[in-house]
C-alpha cells in the first residue's frame, strides 16, 4: 500500500486537468498550479482541492510533484527558476515530469534534483486527452527503480500501463519511438486514403473493408471518418507533434541515423502549419497531400510567369515560361545524381537562353540524342535537351531564381531504368 498522501500537480492543460482530478479522486491531497490562474480555481472548485499562486507554493510539503506542461522552457520555468518547485521541495521527495521533452532536459533536471537529494523520473505519456480523461494512459518512465516503485501505484489513478524503460532519459526516448511510429502510420494512411479518393473510392467504405485485416491501426479506426469529413479541430495538435518529432530527429542525428520517413512527415506538417493548421489533429496531415494534388492539377492550366535561372557563376543565364507552382522530377541516374539535377521540363518555345552561349560546352553520351550543356567556367549543367523529350528543354530547378516560384513539388524518377520509364515523362515538353 502506498504511503503517499500529499502531491502537487503543475500544469492543467487538456491532459493535466483530468490527471490531477484522478489523483484527487483516488484519495490524495492535491494542490495544483496553472499559469492561467482561473483554470486552477475551476479545478479546485470541481474536485474540492487546493490551488496555489506559484509552483513553489504548490509543492510545499508534497511527497511527489507532477509536471505536465508544454515544452522544455515551460518545464524549466516551473522547476529551476526562482518560484519553481525545486525551491521548496525537500530531500527524499520525488519529481515526476509527464511533459514530452528533450532527452537533454530530462538529464538536466535529474542533475538538479540529485544535488538536492530529490528523486526524478521522466515519465511522458501516450493516450491523448481521451486517455487522460478516462484514466487509461500509457506511461513510459526513466529513472531509478526505487523511485519508479514509489510512483507506479500513485499514477495507477490515471494510467492503465506504466513501464520503467531504464535510466533517466529513457522514458523520453521511448516516447520518441512512439511518435515516430505514429508519424509513419499517419504518413501511410494519408497517402492510402488520398489514393482511394482520387481513384473514386469512398474512404468510409474502404475503412470498413480493410480495418479488420493487417492494415488496421488505431489511427484508421479512430480517424478515418473525420479525415473523410475533413474535420481536425480536436485531438493531438500538429504543433505538438512537430515538437516531438524535432526531439526524435535531434537524437537520431546524435546517433548518426537518417530517418527519411519521419523527416518527410515533419516537412508535410511544417507546410500544414504554414497554411494555418498548427492546432489541427495530427490526422490533418492528409490535407498537405490533398493540397499538393489540387495545386499540381491546377498548375496544368494556370497562367505562366517568366522564371529566370542560370549557372552558379552567372556566365550562363536563361528564362523559362512556367506556372508559379512547379512540378519537377529528381532523377537517380548517374549523370543527374552527380549534378544534383532537378528536372523542370518545358517545350523548347518556352525556354530562352539570354546570356552565355559562348560559355557553353556541349556533351553527348550513348545515343547522342541527349544534349548536355555545361558552363565552361563553373562546370554547372543548368539545362539540357533530354532524350525522352527531344522537342523540349529540361532546366535544373535548383538553378532557378525562386522569387517567382510559389512552391516546387518534386517526384522521384527512376532514370536507372530509363528505357522502361522514360515514356512517363514524354508528354511534359508538348505544347498545350
| Residue range 275-309, pLDDT digits in tens | 999 999 999 999 999 999 998 888 888 899 999 99
Pair 198, 264 in one domain: yes
φ/ψ of 400, rounded to 5, equals -80, 150
Q: 323: domain CATH number? A: 2.170.150.70
Q: Are 25 and 48 in contact (CB under 8 A)?
A: no
Q: 234: domain CATH number? A: 1.10.1040.10
Q: At what angle do helices 238-254 and 260-274 cross, to 10 degrees?
A: 150
Whether 112 maps to a domain, the answer reads: yes
Whether 411 maps to a domain, the answer reads: yes
**Of 152, 167, 182, which residue is a domain's last?**
167
Q: Which three-class secondary structure state does DSSP give residue 59?
A: coil
Pair 163, 178 in one domain: no
Whether 366 maps to a domain, the answer reads: yes
CA 121 to CA 220: how far, in whole Å? 33
**Of 276, 297, 318, which residue is a domain's last?**
297
**Strand partners of residue 385:** 371
- What's the pLDDT at 207? 97
Pair 285, 331 in one domain: no
- Judged against a pLDDT cut of 90, whether residue 331 lies above it is answered with no
Q: At what angle do helices 170-198 and 260-274 cross, to 10 degrees?
A: 70
- What's the pLDDT at 335? 75
Confidence of residue 1 (pLDDT cuts 50, 70, 90): low
Does the predicted model carry a pTM greater than 0.85? no
CA 199 to CA 177: how far, in whole Å? 33
Grid cell listed for 117:
537529494
**Strand partners of residue 281:** 237
Q: Which long-range contacts (CB under 8 A, 24 or more apart) does 133-140 make?
A: 133/18, 135/18, 135/22, 135/159, 135/160, 136/160, 137/19, 138/162, 138/163, 139/98, 139/163, 139/171, 140/165, 140/170, 140/171, 140/172, 140/174, 140/175, 140/178
Confidence of residue 386 (pLDDT cuts 50, 70, 90): confident
Grid cell listed for 365:
553520351
Whether 205 maps to a domain, the answer reads: yes
| Residue range 406-432, pLDDT digits in tens | 999 998 887 777 666 666 665 555 565
- What's the pLDDT at 428? 57
Whether 14 maps to a domain, the answer reads: yes
Q: 21: domain CATH number? A: 3.40.50.720
Q: Which helix (H) or strand (E) holds 264?
A: helix 260-274
Give the burial class of 404: count Cβ atoms within 10 A of its Cβ; 0-12 exposed, 13-18 middle, 19 or more buried.
middle
Confidence of residue 340 (pLDDT cuts 50, 70, 90): confident
Mean pLDDT, range 4-24, rounded to an integer: 97
Pair 45, 156 in one domain: yes
Pair 249, 180 in one domain: yes
Which of 146, 130, 143 lies closest to 172, judged by CA?
143
φ/ψ of 73, rounded to 5, equals -65, -35
Pair 19, 114 in one domain: yes
Instruction: Tell me the catalytic residues.
Output: 175
Q: Which helix (H) or strand (E) holds 9?
A: strand 6-10
Mean pLDDT, range 298-326, rounded to an integer: 94
Confidence of residue 368 (pLDDT cuts 50, 70, 90): confident
Pair 133, 70 in one domain: yes
CA 183 to CA 103: how far, in whole Å? 19
Range of the domain at 260: 174-297
Which of 163, 293, 282 lies closest to 222, judged by CA?
282
Whether 1 maps to a domain, the answer reads: no
Whether 393 maps to a domain, the answer reads: yes
Pair 274, 381 in one domain: no
- What's the pLDDT at 69? 97
| Residue range 168-209, pLDDT digits in tens | 999 999 999 999 999 999 999 999 999 999 999 999 999 999
Q: Are strands 342-347 and 325-331 parallel, antiparallel or unpaired?
A: antiparallel
Pair 281, 214 in one domain: yes
As for how many domains the chain has, the answer is: 3
Pair 157, 223 in one domain: no
Pair 319, 234 in one domain: no
Mean pLDDT, range 119-137, rounded to an integer: 96
- What's the pLDDT at 429? 55
Range of lowest pLDDT (35-49, 343-357, 405-419): 405-419
Which of 153, 219, 118 lies closest to 1, judged by CA?
153
**Of 297, 312, 331, which residue is a domain's last?**
297
- What's the pLDDT at 421? 63
Pair 269, 313 in one domain: no
Which of 99, 110, 102 lies closest to 139, judged by CA?
99
- Judged against a pLDDT cut of 80, whether residue 256 lies above it is answered with yes
Whether 136 maps to a domain, the answer reads: yes
Amino acid at each position: 500500500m502506498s504511503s503517499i498522501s500529499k502531491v502537487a500537480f503543475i500544469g492543467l492543460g487538456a491532459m493535466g486537468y483530468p490527471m490531477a482530478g484522478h489523483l484527487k479522486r483516488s484519495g490524495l491531497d492535491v494542490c495544483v498550479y496553472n499559469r492561467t490562474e482561473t483554470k486552477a480555481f475551476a479545478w479546485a472548485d470541481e474536485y474540492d482541492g487546493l490551488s496555489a499562486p506559484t509552483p513553489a507554493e504548490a509543492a510545499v510539503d508534497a511527497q511527489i510533484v507532477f509536471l505536465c506542461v508544454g515544452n522544455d522552457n515551460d518545464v524549466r520555468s516551473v522547476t529551476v527558476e526562482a518560484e519553481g518547485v525545486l525551491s521548496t521541495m525537500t530531500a527524499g521527495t520525488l519529481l515526476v515530469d509527464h511533459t514530452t521533452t528533450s532527452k537533454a532536459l530530462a538529464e538536466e533536471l535529474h542533475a538538479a534534483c540529485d544535488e538536492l537529494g530529490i528523486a526524478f523520473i521522466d515519465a511522458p505519456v501516450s493516450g491523448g486527452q481521451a486517455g487522460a480523461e478516462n484514466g487509461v494512459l500509457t506511461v513510459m518512465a526513466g529513472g531509478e527503480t526505487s523511485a519508479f516503485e514509489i510512483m507506479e501505484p500513485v499514477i495507477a489513478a490515471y494510467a492503465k500501463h506504466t513501464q520503467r524503460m531504464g535510466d533517466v532519459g529513457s522514458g523520453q526516448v521511448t516516447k520518441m519511438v512512439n511518435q515516430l511510429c505514429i508519424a509513419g502510420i499517419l504518413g501511410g494512411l494519408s497517402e492510402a486514403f488520398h489514393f482511394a479518393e482520387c481513384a473514386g473510392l469512398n474512404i468510409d467504405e474502404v475503412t470498413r473493408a480493410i480495418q479488420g485485416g493487417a492494415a488496421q491501426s488505431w489511427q484508421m479506426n479512430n480517424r478515418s471518418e473525420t479525415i473523410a469529413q475533413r474535420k481536425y479541430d480536436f485531438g493531438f495538435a500538429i504543433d505538438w507533434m512537430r515538437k516531438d518529432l524535432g526531439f526524435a530527429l535531434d537524437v537520431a542525428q546524435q546517433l548518426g541515423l537518417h530517418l527519411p520517413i519521419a523527416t518527410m512527415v515533419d516537412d508535410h506538417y511544417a507546410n500544414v502549419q504554414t497554411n494555418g493548421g498548427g492546432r489541427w489533429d495530427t490526422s490533418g496531415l492528409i490535407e498537405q497531400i490533398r493540397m499538393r494534388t489540387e495545386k499540381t492539377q491546377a498548375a496544368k492550366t494556370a497562367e505562366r510567369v517568366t522564371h529566370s535561372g542560370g549557372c552558379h557563376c552567372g556566365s550562363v543565364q536563361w528564362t523559362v515560361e512556367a506556372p508559379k507552382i512547379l512540378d519537377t522530377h529528381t532523377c537517380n541516374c548517374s549523370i543527374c545524381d552527380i549534378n544534383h539535377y532537378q528536372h523542370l521540363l518545358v517545350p523548347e518555345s518556352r525556354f530562352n537562353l539570354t546570356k552565355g552561349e559562348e560559355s557553353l560546352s556541349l556533351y553527348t553520351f550513348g545515343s547522342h540524342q541527349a544534349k548536355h550543356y555545361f558552363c565552361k567556367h563553373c562546370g554547372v549543367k543548368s539545362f539540357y535537351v533530354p532524350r525522352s523529350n527531344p522537342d523540349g528543354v529540361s532546366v535544373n530547378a535548383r538553378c532557378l531564381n525562386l522569387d517567382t516560384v510559389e512552391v516546387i513539388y518534386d517526384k522521384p524518377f527512376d532514370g536507372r531504368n530509363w528505357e522502361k520509364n522514360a515514356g512517363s515523362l514524354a508528354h511534359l515538353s508538348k505544347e498545350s
